[in-house]
């Protein structure tokens, strides 16, 4: 008696079933938006009841760099910048890589540092780099760099790895309160209630800048 052969599934059906299995696996690996701290999402910036701007899980003028390290890791670069004549000094902390949900990019924090303290740290710097415009970038000594991690954050700039799209920004942020076009070809969308300025830059990285937008 001949054995009854098992039916053979068409190749197209195998491909379809494999696709379902792969999709299910990806859904298990990628966290849903409910599992993500909503305060970390770039489009959920807002002003608190006491009128402080919260963005990317940080409260401007309250949170410190140490708070940011708990969210984004300790791979940071600390620098002090000035104009050519050594005026307008600012201390900044740079996170070269961060990841929030499916968004990756770099993060720059500008700090609230008293002028005299900043002058002293600047003068003790171990390395000075001058760009083509004459503006200066100073690397502080290790002790000063560590001390800067305790200062509060004045504003935040997120530079996503991927280019921003107008459609994507409208879907997440809504319609801007104001749009401006600059001489360098960049376009800025202002969202006052969210405290964010979205910068579309055709010749460089796009950016989201969080500060007390007027």
The reported pLDDT for the residue numbered 136 is: 95
Helix (H) or strand (E) holding 99: strand 90-100
pLDDT of residue 14 exceeding 80: no
Average of pLDDT values for 168-181?
96
- The alpha-helical segments, DSSP class H, found in the chain are 11-29, 65-72, 115-123, 142-148, 166-173
Classify the C-alpha dihedral 109-115-120-122 as positive or negative: positive
pTM (predicted TM-score)? 0.81
Q: How far apart are CA 167 and CA 177, in angstroms?
A: 16
pLDDT tens digits along 81-116:
999 999 999 999 999 999 987 789 999 999 999 999
What pLDDT, on a 0 to 100 scale, did the predictor assign at position 10? 52
Q: Are 33 and 181 in contact (CB under 8 A)?
A: no
Q: Which of 13, 135, 42, 39 is nearest to 85 (CA)?
A: 135
Distance CA 124, CA 152 (A): 21
**Whole-number Å distance between alpha carbons of 4 and 129:** 80
Per DSSP, helices labelled H in 73-191 are 115-123, 142-148, 166-173
């Amino acid at each position: 008696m001949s054995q009854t052969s098992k039916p053979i599934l068409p190749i197209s059906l195998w491909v379809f079933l494999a696709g379902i299995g792969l999709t299910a696996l990806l859904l298990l690996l990628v966290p849903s938006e409910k599992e993500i701290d909503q305060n970390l999402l770039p489009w959920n910036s807002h002003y608190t009841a006491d009128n402080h701007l919260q963005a990317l899980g940080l409260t401007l003028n309250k949170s410190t760099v140490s708070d940011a390290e708990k969210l984004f890791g300790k791979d940071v670069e600390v620098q002090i910048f000035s104009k050519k004549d050594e005026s307008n000094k600012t201390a900044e902390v740079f996170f070269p890589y961060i990841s929030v949900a499916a968004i990756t990019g770099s993060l720059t924090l500008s700090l609230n540092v008293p002028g005299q303290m900043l002058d002293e740290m600047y003068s003790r710097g171990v390395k000075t780099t001058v760009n083509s415009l004459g503006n200066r970038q100073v690397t502080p000594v290790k002790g000063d760099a560590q001390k800067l991690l305790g200062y509060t954050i004045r504003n935040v700039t997120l530079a996503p790895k991927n280019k921003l799209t107008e459609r994507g920004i409208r879907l997440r942020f809504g319609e801007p309160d104001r749009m401006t076009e600059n001489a360098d070809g960049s376009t800025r969308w202002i969202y006052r209630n969210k405290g964010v300025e979205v910068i579309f830059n055709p010749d460089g990285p796009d950016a989201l800048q969080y500060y007390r937008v007027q």
